[in-house]
Amino acid sequence: MTLAPSSADLQQPVVRVQGLRILFPSLDGSDTVKAVDGVDFEIRPAETFGIIGESGSGKSTIGRALVGLLDATEGVVELDGRTLNSVPRRERRTARQAYQIVFQDPHAALNPRMTLMESLTEPLRIRGGVSEDEMRRKAQDSMERVGLRAEMLGRYPHELSGGQKQRANIARLLPLNPRLIVCDEVVAALDVSIRGEVLNLFADLQRDFGIAYAFIAHDIAVVAQVSDRIAVTYLGRFMEVGPAEAVTERPLHPYTTALLSAEPRPLPAHLREARRIDLKGEIPSPVDPPSGCRFRTRCPWAQARCAAEVPEWRELRPDHYVACHFATPHGIEAPPAAGEHD
Ligand SMILES: Nc1ncnc2c1ncn2[C@@H]1O[C@H](COP(=O)(O)OP(=O)(O)OP(=O)(O)O)[C@@H](O)[C@H]1O
Ligand code: SF4
Ligand SMILES: [Mg+2]
């Protein structure tokens, strides 16, 4: 079985995350790393939900929690209206197969000692209930669907290019009828020339099968290109979530503006002067994040209030949310206050 919804609740989100916290012990075991520290969001059917933010901001940890590779320390991850824990134990493995992750390293997911045919039929063999002929036919269909020739099924991973491997990784998921695929830096390791092809493949599969994606990447231009909405993550929290175009062209949060300012590509004209922010210093430790607004130690607009109060999550434009005391639909209200930094 899968957790696929009935036709009566097709509008139900594929993913609903509430109050998610994921804590790890620090390396020496004496402290707690707050990798994800209170995030709420939904991913809608056939939607691409982009997640951006600097290294260490918690993107991959969120992605792993969505597919059940990590348990929430606190909070709830609901997939098609149910938590995986609520699925009877014997059905859990099958249920989990509808929620998959593809990583940056296309080599890692394919077993080097298995032919592609073996790799592609393995998930169905584990699930059981499918004849050998049916599995082989599904493997051939999947290969064709991702633009690989069926004759390649006899090959081993080392006989494929990086782009072909990433296509094979995707082909491996299709017989599982995925509802959600978490894409964690899926094109980062690929040549720029084949990135577009792989991104187009993801878009085609979404159109044809209604798959929802959580799309995690450092490259903001890529995330902006493929996403319907974008979440901007900083130190385990969301700073801003909204429609992709609005977030990247008319950001509400100073951190988003700073991330965009750090982009090597030219910014849209209206962002180039007044709203440019240089992102200074390092991201603070997730063991002991700043009080109040986590971005305050690097924010040129930080005021005393920013250290004292956690900013509320406010909808300033339709479907566009921000966590900043001074954000308005038109920009930041507070004057720069350099002296307020710690
Ligand atoms: N298993 C773990 N044990 C301890 N700390 C961890 C573990 N996994 C992640 N962390 C820490 O949690 C924080 C978030 O890590 P995460 O990998 O989610 O970041 P990220 O946003 O994906 O970064 P990157 O862009 O570099 O991939 C980091 O400080 C990281 O060191
Ligand atoms: S102005 Fe204050 S609340 Fe807004 S981002 Fe800067 S530090 Fe955070
Ligand atoms: Mg990561």
Instruction: Looking at the structure, tell me whether residues 334 and 216 fall in a common domain.
Output: no
Predicted confidence (pLDDT) per residue in 128-149, tens digit: 889 999 999 999 999 999 999 9
188 lies in the same domain as 306: no
Report the distance separating Cα 207 and Cα 151, nearest Å: 26
Closest-lying ligand to the alpha carbon of 232? Answer: 1
Ligand 1 atom at minimum distance from 27 CA? 4
pLDDT of residue 7 exceeding 80, the answer is no
Choose one of 184, 207, 226: the last residue of a domain: 226
Shared domain check, 273 and 220: no
User: What pLDDT was estimated at residue 264?
Assistant: 66
* Domain C-terminal end among 178, 206, 226: 226
Radius of gyration of the chain (CA): 21
What is the DSSP-derived secondary structure letter of residue 87? S
**Residue-wise pLDDT tens digits, 234-282:** 999 999 999 999 999 899 999 999 998 877 665 555 555 446 677 878 8
- How confident is the prediction for the chain on average, in pLDDT? 90
Higher pLDDT, 198 or 84: 198
Q: Do both 51 and 185 map to the same domain?
A: yes
Query: Does residue 245 form part of some domain?
Result: no
Q: What is the pLDDT of residue 281?
A: 83
Higher local confidence (pLDDT), 115 or 108: 115
Residue position matching structure tokens 């090597």: 264
**How much is the pLDDT for 126?**
86
Select from 30, 61, 183, 237 the residue to mutate for testing ligand 1; criterion: most ligand atoms less than 8 Å from CB.
61
Distance from residue 110's CA to the centre of ligand 3 (Å): 20
Whose CA is closest to atom 7 on ligand 2? 296
- Whether 147 maps to a domain, the answer reads yes
Tell how far the Cα of 60 is from the centroid of ligand 1, in angstroms: 7
Do 63 and 126 fall within a single domain? yes
**Confidence at 328, pLDDT banded by 50, 70, 90:** very high
Range of the domain at 317: 256-340
Count how many domains the chain has. Answer: 2
Classify strands 320-322 and 314-317 as parallel, antiparallel or unpaired: antiparallel
Determine, yes or no, domain membership for 59: yes
State whether 74 and 181 are in the same domain: yes
Residues 162 and 296 placed together within one structural domain of the fold: no
102 shares a domain with 18: yes
Strands (E) across 44-142 are located at: 48-52, 74-79, 99-102
In a domain, 320, yes or no: yes
Asked, for residue 121, whether it belongs to a domain, the answer is yes
Pocket lined around ligand 2, Cβ cut-off 6 Å = 254, 293, 295-296, 299, 301-302, 306, 311, 324-326, 334
- Write down the pLDDT at residue 2: 45
User: How many angstroms is it from 72 CA to the middle of ligand 1?
Assistant: 14
Angle between helices 132-145 and 162-173 (to 10 degrees): 130
**Do 322 and 199 sit in the same domain of this protein?**
no
Residues 112 and 205 in one domain: yes
Q: What is the pLDDT of residue 338?
A: 52
Domain annotation covers residue 18: yes
Q: Is the pLDDT of residue 4 over 90?
A: no
Same domain as 201, residue 86: yes
- Which of 226, 247, 278 represents a domain boundary (last residue)? 226
For residue 261, what pLDDT is reported?
Answer: 83
Any idea which of 14-28, 185-199, 270-284, 316-330 has the lowest mean pLDDT? 270-284
Regarding whether 183 and 52 lie in a shared domain, the answer is yes
Confidence of residue 27 (pLDDT cuts 50, 70, 90): confident
Contact (Cβ atoms closer than 8 angstroms) between residue 231 and residue 238:
yes
Burial profile 325-335: b = 16 or more Cβ within 10 angstroms, e = fewer: bbbeeeebebe
Tokens linked to 80: 């098609």
Q: Is the pLDDT of residue 10 over 90?
A: no
Is 262 within the bounds of a domain? yes
pLDDT at 8: 43
HSE-up of 111 (CA within 13 Å, CB side)?
Answer: 12
pLDDT score, position 279 = 80
The 10s digit of each residue's pLDDT in 158-212 is 999 999 999 999 999 999 999 999 999 999 989 988 999 999 999 999 999 999 9
68 touches 249 (CB < 8 A): no
Residue closest by Cα to atom 1 of ligand 1: 24
* Within-domain flag for 164: yes
Count helices and strands in the chain by DSSP H and E runs: 12, 13
The pLDDT assigned to 340 comes to 45
d(CA 215, CA 262) in angstroms, rounded, equals 20
* Ligand 1 centroid to residue 256 C-alpha, Å: 20
Give the domain CATH number at 114. Answer: 3.40.50.300
